[in-house]
A and B are shown apart, each in its own frame.
Chain A
Amino acid sequence: MNIPFRTLPQRHLVYAYCVVWLLQFGYGAFVALRWLRERRP
């Protein structure tokens, strides 16, 4: 699939996927780091 990123719908499709990854993996990394830090003696 080719997303040329020229029109508004194409841009919004990319933005939507980026928002999902940013929030999910950002929060996931934040929780994982807290978990790793608390495991230290």
Chain B
Amino acid sequence: MKTFSKARIFGLIWFGATALVLTIGFYKAMTAPTEATMGNLYRVFFYHLPHTILSFVFPYLNCGASLLYLFWRNRNPTRALAADAFALASAELTVLYASIGLATGMLWGRAAWGIWWTWDARLTTYLLLWLLYVSYLLLRRFAAPGQTAVLAAVLAIFAAIDIPICFMSIRWWRTQHPAPVFGGGADSGIDPGMVSAVLWNMLAWAMWGALILGLRYAVERHRQTSEAAVGLDFVRDQAFSPALEAR
């Protein structure tokens, strides 16, 4: 009989719960009251907001994991490799969530403002965030082996500086992007009928993100283990090769 590990059972339950919450989130988004000025177009908000908020969360995970990598790299290499794998997984999710934040924002902006893009403070700092994490992934992909993880960790720490600037940009500068919907002063807030749709979709995409983060981390850990095994085999072959023994 096929047996499942505890982690796999937990993963399956998590996947089922995520699918259920995603369905509820979609249903809530489609049945929330229609907005007075934008009509149904405003429903983009129920996917745009969770993705944008989560694209501010994953970079902090990336930054935290990078700091741990730098701390452990000479003290505990095994833990350092795990932190590096987590940093890579969270950077990929940052790019994914920020790409969706950009794409849904542009589709919404074209229909609501009549323009795809403007060099507004939020949009510009958000594009910068996306470019920083794309460059992080490119660095990891193409840098010469050896120092890649250290360089990537340093870049991750600098890239995280953009997150508070981007987050605060709609509070500090009043340009094209609307003011914050939540916590933006006396005029902020949404209809109580829309709040549950926001919260369900927030939960749904956070659960989905956690699931993909876990899977991507597992894939990277497996790659690291295979690479280490190949390296050990190579060293063993070199050490016990007949040519060496003949010397």
Name A residues whose Cβ lies closer than 8 Å to a Cβ of B.
Answer: 1, 3, 8-10, 12-13, 15-17, 19-20, 23-24, 27-28, 31-32, 34-35, 38
7 nearest A-B pairs in the assembled complex, by CB-CB distance: A9-B41, A12-B111, A9-B111, A16-B44, A16-B107, A12-B107, A16-B104
Interface size of B by CB at 8 A reads 31
Q: Is the CB of B215 within 8 A of A31?
A: yes
B137 to A: closest C-beta gap in Å: 13
With A1-B31, A8-B111, A20-B100 as given contacts, are A31 and B41 in contact (CB-CB < 8 Å)?
no
B-side contacts of A15, CB under 8 Å = 107
Is B44 a contact partner of A13 (Cβ separation < 8 A)? yes
Q: Which candidate, B119-127, B150-158, B216-224, is the interface stretch facing chain A?
A: B216-224
Q: How far is the CB of A21 from chain B (nearest CB, A)?
A: 9
Residues on A with C-beta less than 8 A from B96 are 23-24, 27
A-B contacts counted at CB < 8 A amount to 70
Q: Give bound CA distance, A13 to B39, whole Å.
A: 11
A contacts with B: majority SS: helix
Provided the pairs A16-B107, A16-B108, A20-B104 are in contact, do residues A9 and B39 lie with their beta carbons within 8 angstroms? yes
A17 to B44, CA, bound (A): 7
Query: Which chain B residue has the least Cβ–Cβ distance from A25?
Result: B208
Query: Is there an interface contact between B103 and A19, defined as CB atoms closer than 8 Å?
Result: yes
| Chain B CB within 10 A, most for which of A1, A20, A34, A38 | A20
Q: Which residues of B from 81 to 116 have beta carbons under 8 Å from A?
A: 96, 99-100, 103-104, 107-108, 110-112
Q: Is B47 an interface residue when CB atoms closer than 8 A count as contact?
A: yes
Known: A9-B41, A9-B111, A23-B99. 4 other contacts (CB 8 A): A8-B111, A10-B40, A16-B103, A28-B212
Answer whether residue B243 sits at the interface, using C-beta atoms and an 8 A cutoff.
Answer: no
Asked whether, in the complex, the Cβ of B108 is within 8 Å of the Cβ of A12, the reply is: yes
Q: How far is the CB of B200 from chain A (nearest CB, A)?
A: 15
- A23 touches which of B100, B110, B216 (Cβ 8 Å): B100
Q: Which of A9, A27, A31, A34 contacts B112 (CB 8 A)?
A: A9
B12 within 8 A of A: no
Closest Cβ of chain A: how far from B123's Cβ, in Å? Answer: 16
CB-CB < 8 A to B40: which residues of A? Answer: 1, 3, 9-10, 13
| Interface check B38, CB cutoff 8 A | yes
Please measure, in the bound complex, the distance between the C-alpha atom of A9 and the C-alpha atom of B107, giving whole angstroms: 9
Is A27 within 8 A of B212, CB to CB? Answer: yes
Given A8, A24, A38, which contacts B219 in the complex, CB threshold below 8 Å?
A38
Given A1-B31, A27-B212, A35-B215; A12-B47 close (CB under 8 Å): no
Residue of A nearest to B46 (CB): A17
Given the interface pairs A1-B30, A35-B218, the reply to whether A16 lies near B212 with Cβ below 8 Å is: no
